[in-house]
Structure 1
Amino acid sequence: MAYDTIAQQWRVPLGLPFLKLAAAASVLALGILLAAGDPLRPVLGGLAAAVLTGWGLRDLVAPVRLAVDPTGITVPAGLLSRRHLAWSMVETIQVHRRSGRGLAGPTLEIDTGDSLHLFSRLDLGADPAEVADALRTARAGSPGGPG
C-alpha cells in the first residue's frame, strides 16, 4: 500500500451543526415564550442556547474530528486546536458498545496511555468500527508499524 493513499479524515456530518443552531434558537424562543413573568426561564433558555450555539459553531469551524496519515493520527485538543499523535504513542484502538445513561451505540476509543480519545458516530460521520479498521490498516502500513 502506498503511504499517500492511507491519509483519511472523518468529520461531523454536515447537517448536525445546523441542527444544533436550530435547537439553540428554539430553546431561546421557548425560554422567552414560557417566561410568564419569571426572569429565570429566559435566562436559562439563553444559557442553553449559548451552549448549543457554541457547540454548533465549533462543528462548523472545526468539523474534522479525526485524521490519519502514515505518521499517526490527529485528534482534537480543546475546542479548536488539534494534536498529532505518532503511531508510537497509540497503545490501543478499540470499539466499545455501551448502553444506558444516554450513551448508546458504539464508541471508538483511542488510548495513548496519557489520554483517552472517544468518538461516536456523530463525531465521525461513519461507523466507529469501520473507522477503527481503517486506523488499524493505516497503522499496519505505516513505516515502523506492526504490519
Structure 2
Amino acid sequence: MIFDDAESPGPDGESPARSWSPQAGLVVLAWIGAAGAGAWLAVLVVTHGDPAGRLFAAVLGLVLLVGAVWGTRARPRLAVGPEGLTVRGGFSRSRTHPWGQVTDVRVLQTRRFGRTVATLAVDVRDESGPGADPDAAERLLVFGRLDLGADPVDVAATVLAARR
C-alpha cells in the first residue's frame, strides 16, 4: 500500500515506496467552497437575484467542483517505488513508467508574479505498442507544489534516489 508523502516498505527489503498527493486540506476546502457556491446560487435563483451574480456563482461553483473532484481522484498524484514511477491523473487511470522509460528528472525554476516557483519535470519515453514511433512517444510530466503537496525540489531528490 502507498501512503501520502510517506514511506511504505518495499518488497524484499528494496527501497521504500513514496507517494505525493494534493494536500487533503485544500481538497476539503474546494468541496466546502463548491457547496457554498451552490447554496449561494440557489439563494440567488430563489430570490430572483441579478443575472450577473447567478452567472458568477454558477461558474465559481463549477470551477470549485471540478477542482475538488480532480483533487479527490488524483490521490496519490505521483508515486515512486522499485518498479518505477506511477502517475495518476484526476480524470484518468494510473500509468506506471518503469525506470528504464524515465529519461530525465529535473526541477525547473521560473519567476512568476515576483517570486520564484519550482516545478518538477519528468521526461518519459512510452514504448507501448508494436511499431510505435519512438519520437512520438516522448512525454513531459510536470508537477507543481499543488500537485505534490510538497516542495518539488525535495520530491526530485527522492525520485532521483529511487531511480538509482
> TM-score with structure 1 length normalisation?
0.77
Q: Match of 1:108, SS?
A: strand
Moved more, 58-67 or 123-132: 58-67
Residue 55 of structure 1: how far off its partner (Å): 1.5
Instruction: Give the 3 Å change call, closer, same or farther, for CA 133–19 of structure 1 in structure 2.
Output: same
Gaps (5+ residues) in structure 1?
141-147
Residue 128 of structure 1: how far off its partner (Å): 0.8
Residue 122 of structure 1: how far off its partner (Å): 1.8
Q: Which residue identity lines up with residue 68 of structure 2 in the other structure?
A: G
2:139 is aligned with 1:115 = yes
Residue 32 of structure 1: how far off its partner (Å): 6.0
Instruction: Give the 3 Å change call, closer, same or farther, for CA 31–107 of structure 1 in structure 2.
Output: farther
Root mean square deviation of aligned Cα: 2.9
2:153 is aligned with 1:129 = yes
2:109 is aligned with 1:97 = yes
Gaps (5+ residues) in structure 2?
1-9, 126-137
Match of 2:18 among 2, 5, 8: 8
> TM-score with structure 2 length normalisation?
0.70
What fraction of aligned residue pairs are identical, expressed as a percent?
33
Q: Residue in 2 aligned with 1:48?
A: 60
Q: Which has the higher contact order (CA 8 A, sep 6+)?
A: 1
Instruction: Give the 3 Å change call, closer, same or farther, for CA 79–65 of structure 1 in structure 2.
Output: same
Aligned length in residues: 139
Misfit runs of 4+, over 6 Å = none
